[in-house]
A = this chain, B = another copy of it.
Amino acid sequence: MLNFNYRIPTEVFFGEGQLKVLGNQIRRYGSKLLLVYGGGSIKKMGLYANVIELLQSADIPFWELSGVEPNPRVTSVRKGIDLCRKNEIDFILAVGGGSTIDCAKIIAAGFYYSSDPWDLMIGKAKIEKALPLGTILTLAATGSEMDPMAVISNPETHQKVGIGHPSLSPVFSILDPTYTFSVPKNQTAAGTADIMSHVFESYFSKTRSAFLQSRLAEGILKTCIRYGPQAMENPEDYEARANLMWASSLAINGLLSYGKERKWTVHPIEHELSAYYDITHGVGLAVLTPHWMEYVLSEQTVDTFKEYGVNVWGLNPQDNAFAAARQAIAKTREFFVSLGLPTSLHEINIPEDKLEVMARAATKSGPLGEFRPVNAEDVLQILRAAL
């Protein structure tokens, strides 16, 4: 197990009806608020009206930034920062899924940076601090509600970049599973794939001595496998939505990666797909994951794949290692197919022509991952296999 510093500062208010804490929580941190949200879904489900009513009854003045995109753009971030500066806003409330929360995070950090916020994403400037941020989650997927990371897109430059800083952790998050009852089937499926991919990124690691973390990871995978299909079949199944929601937070808040190296592989490759083609992140991950698994399966990695197969998919521990590993990968693909997710790039209308460009872009800072590091040529082969 590698050394680590554990710090998960976000307070979580989990369960039906927890919205009632909103006024008191906001007042702990700020007095003037920017409300950030995406499309109309929070209005349709009545959540928007409830939030407004609570803000008004708590006498908290607020301004609104709406229309944050599914792959949130730096243009929205800029708008948000302007609103904060003009109105001396000191607290940000994100209501939505990971895209809305990520956008709010970079607004919060960009507020303290005098030039263009895109500089913070590409390393031209460093995040120093951020406005306090609270979230009300409406989609179980990215885990942004409990982590210090944000991913922002710049369509002009075809870049989608992730960044992390301790000040980006929300100070509180309200997780009410009933707010995900209206998430459509395809988004429920993509969210489940996203959660599983977060788990895979730290589960498939060379650091096998972090035994405990791997067992926790398997628990979260089993949760996704049980409740993803259940939530799709019955969108108002509270137990399913609650387990998926909590899984989304725990998959990426650090719990699974503490004590291991944190070098991801599939996410950075997928970021290139969605930077160029604006596809749903979880869908891209579902396409890439089994192909990546097949590509990195080797003498060095086979035991971890077998362990995954035995502990998560109930395969026979007596099976031959490679046979079990291949079966585990096949089970993973079958599961995504059962959720209605695509398994190839052509199903999501991604042609061959930009694969090389994307493979180079994904690896421009060096090989990805530590389980089996992949360079540009490896990524290209994974992408070609996924065609």
Q: Give the B-binding residues of A (Cβ under 8 A).
A: 1-18, 177, 209-212, 215-216, 218-220, 222-223, 226-227, 238-239, 242-243, 246-247, 250, 255, 258-259, 314, 317
* A3 with B14, Cβ < 8 A, contacts A212-B247, A216-B219 known: yes
**Residue contact A18 to B6, C-beta cutoff 8 Å:** no
**Residue contact A1 to B212, C-beta cutoff 8 Å:** no
Measured between beta carbons, the chain B residues less than 8 angstroms from A210 are 243
CA distance A250 to B14 in the complex (A): 19
Contacting A259 at CB < 8 Å: which of B4, B7, B246, B314?
B246
Contacting A5 at CB < 8 Å: which of B6, B11, B247?
B11
Give 29 A-B contacts (CB < 8 Å), ordered by A residue: A1-B239, A3-B16, A4-B12, A4-B14, A5-B12, A5-B14, A6-B10, A6-B12, A7-B11, A7-B12, A14-B258, A14-B259, A209-B239, A209-B242, A210-B243, A211-B223, A211-B226, A212-B220, A212-B243, A212-B246, A212-B247, A212-B250, A215-B220, A216-B216, A216-B219, A219-B219, A242-B259, A246-B259, A314-B317
**Residue contact B212 to A219, C-beta cutoff 8 Å:** yes
Q: Which secondary structure dominates where chain A touches chain B?
A: mixed
**Residue contact B216 to A212, C-beta cutoff 8 Å:** no
* Known A6-B13, A209-B243; further 14 A-B contacts with Cβ < 8 A: A1-B14, A3-B16, A3-B18, A5-B11, A6-B12, A209-B239, A209-B242, A212-B220, A212-B243, A212-B250, A215-B219, A215-B220, A215-B223, A246-B259
